[in-house]
Structure 1
Amino acid sequence: MDFSISHICSVLIILIAGVAHCLEITSQGPTSIEKASSESVKLDCQFSLAPEDSGPLDIEWSLLASDNQKEDKVVILYSGDRAYEDYYPAVKGRAHFNSADPKNGDASINLTGLKSSDTGTYQCKVKKAPGIRSRKMLLTVMVRPSKPRCSADGPTLEGTDVVLRCTSSEGTNPLQYTWEKTSDNKLLPASAVLDPVGGTMNVRNASTSSSGTYRCTAKNHVGMEECILQLGITPPPNTAGIIAGAIIAVLLALIIIAIILFCCCRARNRKKYEKEISYEIREDVPPPKSRVSTARSFTSVGSQRSSLGSMSPSNLHEYALKPQYDKIPSVEEYERPPSHAPLPPPVASKMAGPNLSRMGAIAVMIPAQNRDGSIV
């Protein structure tokens, strides 16, 4: 019985001594790290060896897959006293061992130029037969907030609700937005309602005292940015005056248009009238009497009177029977409209030549005259 107990104790001592002297990971740092993009990070993995660990040393860093159906990605490897750093194309040229000789107990690596895609769980596995140990670390790469854009929605009129917005286009959540007033008494309006997640501040029933300079700050665990907004609350406009001014302006425009149209129509009618008058033939005005024609008429009368003196009574009788077309037209005939046909000249009464001679009449032949006054 005593032999059995002593045998068991010696076995336990041997086992404890063997465990105490085998390969161990000695790093005590945090297993969760948050870093900003474009920064660098050191993933710590220190280890110690025991005399029993006589096999070849292998160090492997891998990015564990979030889905169990997917395969883990080897990031960097040390084997056969040589480092292999180009296993994972996503971190090619950015992953390096912290020590030039990792077999001295430093399996830590450095990642530079961090990207949001570098976020994940990294595992450091150290193998030196018969010992195998590993350590996992969660790396979260966060994007700093970009410079936010400040704006005011809607009309900034007194008595209305004014919404101030602050938004960053980039930045890893959770993003927090804060508003503060930097002018006057530096107190936010009493009616202001803040939304730290959405980045809005609603100023209800805004007054002129709400005017001033406001600053919005967007921040997360790795950085912060801010923007400035100048808010001016103005009194509401005089709506009645605006409507009256608009009506007056419309009426003036209509009056001007009416005057222009009237002038254009009048000028057009005048031009049309003048054109018609220029082509109209006025036939109601008698032509002027020609002095030359009058003189010629007297000469013709004298010559014809002399010729009549040589006529015999028989010839005179025949002449009296002829229509008197050579009668000088009267003024009424000149003024008669051209549309009326000229009346035939009166026919001389049939009188015998001997009767005319007995009565002492002298036959006179009156020359004919055209309408223009010339003797025919």
Structure 2
Amino acid sequence: MGALRRAALALAALLGVSSAVVEVHVATDSVVSVEGQPAVLPAWYTSHSSKTPYVIWMLERNTDRFQILAYIGGVVKVGETDLKPRVGFLYPVLIRNVSLLINATREQDSGQYTCSVNVEDDSTSTTSVGVINLNVLVPPAVPTCQLHGSAVVGANVTLSCSSKKGKPSPLYQWQREPPTPQVFFPPTQDLARGTLKLTNLSLEMSGVYVCRAENQAGSKNCSIVLEVHSTSTKAVIAGAVLGSLGALATIIFFAQKVVGYRRKKRDSQEEGANEIKEDALAPKTPSWARSPASDTMSKTSTLSSIAGTREKPYVARPPSDTASILTTTGSYRGPPPRGGGRPPNLSPPAVNGTPQRRQDPAAPLGSLPPSSLARAGAVPVMVPAQSRAGSLV
């Protein structure tokens, strides 16, 4: 106080103000405000003089001291500080009320405020100073609730609650909401740290837990839902995922087997069809059947050769003196065989009592049946008779 008084006297001397009997009064030495709300620092002065006073408000904060507001020569002057747009006199100075008004207070507005008043042309040389401390409180920010641990039957968990802002530091209170309300006390919960320990969990301990962060400026809440399970939810989820993956792998395996079996079966069928097509060769037509009918003797010799190989060995017969004619049905018509032959109408003798099949006497031995000749592509032709000497007749 002595230093402030000496500063006020020095200021008065610099301004050329004569000493005056004046006294500053304050309604309280401490004012508490909540951040965002206005704050009033009440002060007034008394003096025997009716002259205009000199009023100066100073702020000391964190060892720094600076002027925030002044009334000199009937003019209000605001200092260049962060308070400039929010500070002023609450009433006109001429009515001797010099109270300070701060709008929308902030936490950094907290500090020691000093008001010095001096009145000109008074008979004494005294200056009065009033001091008021301002404390701006900050309500807690909305806290954050968290669960630490696995909420299964028989396990232990910890609920935590913390607020990033608050002046003074808030205290935390946990409670469980209806229909089963419950209030917790130390050592189960830590009021300063905001933790709540729950041990040996049971299904009945499930519910909504609310944390309230509170200080002199206000309070804010957060909540968390605790669900106690009989088994670990993580294990159930992991088992379900593994089971799904196993089932999917099994389905893919059997699908590949079925597709492979069908593909193998189809390939086998295609190979069998290709083999049959490769083995089945078209019948070949004898070369003599495509050649022109210019060589009659060649055709006859070829037919005789084919007949000899397919039916039985060729039996030589004596040449006939009379010409034979090959009919269109493929049989030979000519004279009856010479001596020793059976009459044409006689049946062959029976062998061991079994009658034998009668052979057409007109068909020579070793010849092909007409149907075989027709299938072989034979063409009926006139064959000239040969003499015994082999010459054509």
User: TM-score if structure 2 supplies the norm length?
Assistant: 0.62
C-alpha contact 1:76 1:88 (8 A) present in aligned 2 = no
Cα-to-partner distance string for 1:204-238 (whole Å, 9 max, x where unaligned): 22223323343322111211222344433232359
Q: What is the deviation of 1:177? A: 0.7
In the alignment, is the contact (CA less than 8 A) between 2:41 and 2:132 conserved in 1?
yes
Displacement of 1:111? 0.7
Q: Which residue of 1 aligns with 2:227?
A: 232
- Report how far residue 357 of structure 1 moved: 4.8
The 5 A counterparts of 1:71-110 are 72-85=65-78, 87-100=79-92, 102-110=93-101
Distance 2:184 2:202 in 1: 9
- Structure 1 contact 191–203 (Cα < 8 Å) conserved: no
Distance in 1 separating the partners of 2:109 and 2:304: 131
* Preserved contact between residue 151 and residue 165 of structure 1 (Cα < 8 Å): yes
Q: How many angstroms apart in 2 are the aligned matches of 1:223 and 1:329?
A: 131
Whether the 8 Å contact between 1:38 and 1:114 is mirrored in structure 2 is: yes
Structure 2 residue runs without a partner (length 5+): 1-19, 321-336, 338-363, 380-393
- Which of these two proteins has the greater Rg computed from alpha carbons? 2
Give, in angstroms, the shift of residue 64 of structure 1.
1.8
2:115 is the counterpart of 1:124: yes
1:146 counterpart = 2:141: yes
Deviation for aligned residue 1:143: 1.6
Alpha-carbon contact 2:30-2:133 (below 8 Å) kept: yes
Is the alpha carbon distance of 1:115 and 1:330 closer, same or farther for their aligned partners in structure 2, counting shifts above 3 Å? Answer: farther
Q: 1:249 to 1:191 in 2, by over 3 A?
A: farther
Residues in 2 aligned to 1:169 and 1:196: alpha-carbon distance in whole angstroms:
16
| 2-structure distance, mates of 1:136, 1:167 | 37
Distance across 2 between alignment mates of 1:118 and 1:327: 135
1:1-376 alignment, distance < 5 Å: 22-29=21-28, 31-51=29-49, 57-67=53-63, 70=64, 72-85=65-78, 87-100=79-92, 102-128=93-119, 130-183=125-178, 186-188=181-183, 193-236=188-231, 251-277=246-272, 279-280=274-275, 282=277, 284-285=279-280, 287=282, 304=296, 327=306, 357=319
Q: Which amino acid aligns with 1:177?
A: Y
Q: Distance in 2 between matches of 1:25 and 1:329?
A: 161
Q: In the alignment, is the contact (CA less than 8 A) between 1:304 and 1:365 conserved in 2?
A: no
1:150/1:165 contact within 8 Å kept = yes
How far the C-alpha of 1:239 sits from its partner, in A, is: 10
- Residue 145 of structure 1 deviates from its aligned partner by 1.5
Q: Which secondary structure state, in structure 2, belongs to the residue aligned with residue 262 of structure 1? A: helix
Q: Within 1, Cα distance between the matches of 2:308 and 2:187?
A: 111
- Quote the offset at 1:84 in angstroms: 2.1
Question: What's the offset of the Cα at 1:326?
Answer: 6.7
CA 159–373 in structure 1, closer or farther in 2 if over 3 Å, else same: farther
**Quick one: structure 1 residues 190 and 274, their matched pair in 2 at CA, closer, same or farther if it must change by over 3 Å?**
farther
Q: Letter of the aligned partner of 2:104 in structure 1?
A: G
Shift of 1:40: 0.8
Residue type of the partner of 1:179? W
Q: Which structure is higher in helix share? A: 1
Q: Is the 8 A contact 2:26 2:132 kept in 1?
A: no
Could you say what secondary structure the match of 2:56 adopts?
strand
**TM-score using structure 1 length:** 0.64
Q: Distance in 2 between matches of 1:191 and 1:78?
A: 55
RMSD, aligned α-carbons: 4.7
Shift of the alpha carbon at 1:240?
9.6
The aligned residue for residue 6 of structure 1 is none
Residue type of the alignment partner of 1:47: Y
Residue 176 of structure 1: how far off its partner (Å): 0.7
Deviates more, 1:205-214 or 1:280-289: 280-289
Offset at 1:57? 2.2
